[in-house]
Each structure stands twice: as C-alpha cells, then as structure tokens.
Amino acid sequence: MGPETVAAVQALLPQAGVTLGVMGGGQLGRMFVHAAQAMGYRTAVLDPDAESPAGLVSHTHIVAAYDDPAALAQFGALCAAVTTEFENVPAQVLRTLAAHCVVSPPAAAVSVAQDRALEKAHFVRCGVACAPYAVIETAAHLQAVPDALLPGILKTARMGYDGKGQIRVADRAALAQAWDALHQVPCVLEKMLPLAAECSVLVARGADGAMVHFPVQRNLHRDGILAVTEVFAGNLPAPVAAYAVAAAESIAQGLDYVGLLCVEFFVLQDGSLVVNEIAPRPHNSGHYTLDACDQSQFSLQVRTLAGLPLTPPRQHSAAVMLNLLGDIWAGGTPDWSAVLALPGTHLHLYGKAQARTGRKMGHLNITAASPEQAHAVALQAAQLLGIAAF
C-alpha cells in the first residue's frame, strides 16, 4: 500500500472537534456535509467558489484553489480526514494532503479514474469486460487503429465528464478530424456497441477491505447527462445484476480502494455487460438512496472516510430519480406545489442561484410500494416539469 492509504487508521468517532473535510463544493459535497453533520461531525470544504453549495452549509469553507499550498496546509491541519466530491481534484493534491490527515479515496485510485487509458488497463487486469479500445497519443497511434474499432467514440483520456470531450466517429477520416478537433490530446477510441440499457453499481469499501453495495441502478442518459434512474427488484435480469456487483467489487478490490465508488456499465443487446467507467465519489444515480434506503450513499461515504463499520444498506421502497437540469426553469420557476402534491415525491434542490441549460440544479426522488406506482408518479412529475417521458 502507498503512503496515502488509510488501512492503519483507527475509527474517527463523532465527537467534539472531529472535522471531516471535502475537496469540492458542489452538490455532492453539500450532501456529504449534510450526512456528516447529521452524525455529529464538524465539516470543512475547500472550494474556490465563495457561493459553492457545500461551502454555504459547512462549518468551515476555505475559499481557495485546490492546489493552493497555504490553503492545503490549513485544510490538512483542520481536518481529521478528507474526501473528494469530484474526480478531477489533482491526484498530487491528495498526496500532499495525505501527509497531514487521512485521505480517501487514495490518490493512486483517483489517478486511475482520471485517465481513461489507465482505467481501461485496470479493467483488463481485473478481468472485467470493457468495449474494445485503442489508446491514441501520437499520429502513429492514429494510423495504427484497427478498422474493427470503427465506428467508435473518441474520448479524451482526461477531464471528460457528462458527455464532454467525446466525439462519435464513423470512419478513419472522421476519426482524424475528431482528434484534430480535440487538439490531438491523448485519447481513447472505443468501439461502438449495440446497447440495450445502462446501469451502475455503488460500492463502499473500508480500509479493512470490507465491502457493501447498493442494488444495481438502471439508468437513462440524454445528451451524455444522467436523466432518470430506476431502482427496484427485477429492474435488470438477476444474472446481469449479479455480474455487475461482482465486477464492481473486483474493480474496487484491485484499486485497494477506500471510499464510495460508482461503476457504470453498458448492457448490450445480447444481454452481456461491459464496464464503461468509474467515478471515485458518490454519483447522480445513487441519489435515490437518500429516500429509498436505510442508509444513503453519502452516509456510507462518511463511514468509509471515518473508518466506521459498514453494514449492508437495505432498500425499503421502489424508487425513481429524476435529474433536474436548469432547462426546466426556462419558462420560470417550476410548479413545485403541483409536483409535491404527488404521493411519494421528495424534492432536493442544491442551492444554486442561477439556472442554466444542462446545469444540475437538483433531483426529485419518487418512492412507492411498487415499481409500477413509482414509475407512474414519476411520469406525472416529468410531465409537470417538462421532462421527456421514459
């Protein structure tokens, strides 16, 4: 294990003076802060935005760049342990912090998630199927791409999320144009596969190697952004769900991961499963856990960070999650009264002052006694909000 792992650290029990920190002030950080505070911890956020959603609700908000040496020293001295809420915090920053406090997930694991080429290689090492791919870093690599990978999707190796840094390519000419359009940065070309569905698995792994997981989540993306998640028994065939959980746990184990990890998969038309990517943090597809489970993904994030026991989470209600993007504010403030008049609706807004197209403003969880009831209410809510049916 590297110096940034937390295997030898004793549990940080909730008590006066124990502060848990999060790098990043977005909505995932905000919900982590809420979970940590509910358990009795003090919280701190490091984020350059003075109005960040997490910073606004935390005990302490250090307003600074993520790589600011003085801010990192202050943050590391203040916090007993630090986690992240997005994967693009520089791994070296996490290594710096690990000299001062517990850091999870560890920098080595985050660095893999930050680079698609390293990520794909890790999947191969773990024996988990992924789409056929080629790494393109030079003109020679571009020329050597096998014809069998086309048509495909060209993705930047680093700094891509929510469909950004991705271009579909039909042939070699389009591939060359796409690489030029991406400024010839290192990329990964993935073969396009016939998809039937998408799903994800959330795994929590402790420093002692203990792992628990949430049910497999069935997801619908639009324009590269998660739109809908549905979670209930039978949402995917049992063998597919079982493989997804086993694959996710293998990926986490291979990374010596500590923290909450989301693993995203494609379900192919022949019923097989291939891994798409990992997110070393809580995930949009896990937001339903706030209202449909006895533990949320954020409470498990707190437990892994603090070294507390991990108990298997239980889902008590069928659930549908609708992602609320800034688009639905185009005609003014949505009619929340009408939405909340529907049974089993739970509104979560992130405290962002300005709604913009594609910006994640909140989510709506719908819980019910049966999948059919949850789906029906979710369709009613979607109609009221101007969200396309699913």
pLDDT for the residue 290: 98
277's tokens? 């990517």
- Asked whether residue 1 carries a pLDDT value surpassing 80, the answer given is no
Contact of 324 with 363, CB cutoff 8 Å: yes
pLDDT for the residue 160: 65
Strand partners, 134: 189
- Asked whether residue 35 carries a pLDDT value surpassing 50, the answer given is yes
The residues, any chain, with a CB within 8 Å of residue 376's CB and separated by 6 or more, are: none
Contact of 205 with 304, CB cutoff 8 Å: yes
Which SS3 state, helix, strand or coil, does residue 360 take? strand
* Residue range 242-266, pLDDT digits in tens: 999 999 999 999 999 999 999 999 9
Domains of the chain with bracketed CATH:
19-113 (3.40.50.20), 132-191 (3.30.1490.20), 195-385 (3.30.470.20)
| CB-count burial class (<10 Å; 0-12, 13-18, 19+) for 342 | middle
pLDDT for the residue 324: 98
Top-confidence residue, 262 or 2: 262
* Residue range 71-106, pLDDT digits in tens: 999 999 999 999 999 888 899 999 999 999 999 999
**Cα–Cα distance for residue pair 144/125, rounded to 1 Å:** 23
- The confidence band for 4, taking pLDDT boundaries of 50, 70 and 90, is very low
Residue 352's φ and ψ, nearest 5 degrees, are -90, 130
- Asked whether residue 3 carries a pLDDT value surpassing 90, the answer given is no
Beta strands at 42-46 and 60-62: parallel, antiparallel or unpaired: parallel
Q: Give the number of other Cβ atoms within 10 Å of residue 25's Cβ.
A: 28
Query: pLDDT averaged over the chain?
Result: 94
317-334: average pLDDT: 96
Which SS3 state, helix, strand or coil, does residue 158 take? coil
25's tokens? 């002030």
* Residue range 155-183, pLDDT digits in tens: 999 976 656 789 999 999 999 999 999 99
- Asked whether residue 2 carries a pLDDT value surpassing 90, the answer given is no
Consecutive H or E run containing 289: helix 289-292
pLDDT for the residue 8: 44
- Asked whether residue 304 carries a pLDDT value surpassing 90, the answer given is yes
pLDDT for the residue 164: 72
- What is this structure's pTM? 0.94
Place of tokens 């789409």: 131
User: Cis before residue 237, ω within 30 degrees of 0?
Assistant: no
Top-confidence residue, 33 or 87: 33
**Cα–Cα distance for residue pair 365/322, rounded to 1 Å:** 6
Give the E-state strand segments of 10-90 in sequence order.
Answer: 19-23, 42-46, 60-62, 81-84
Q: What is the DSSP letter of 387?
A: P
**Cα–Cα distance for residue pair 287/284, rounded to 1 Å:** 5
Q: Give the number of other Cβ atoms within 10 Å of residue 324's Cβ.
A: 23
- The confidence band for 44, taking pLDDT boundaries of 50, 70 and 90, is very high
- Asked whether residue 141 carries a pLDDT value surpassing 50, the answer given is yes
344: closest CA among 323, 369, 320, 366? 366
pLDDT for the residue 346: 98
142-149: average pLDDT: 95
213-225: average pLDDT: 95
* Geometric angle at alpha carbon 268, from 360 and 192, rounded to 5°: 75
110: closest CA among 259, 213, 238? 259
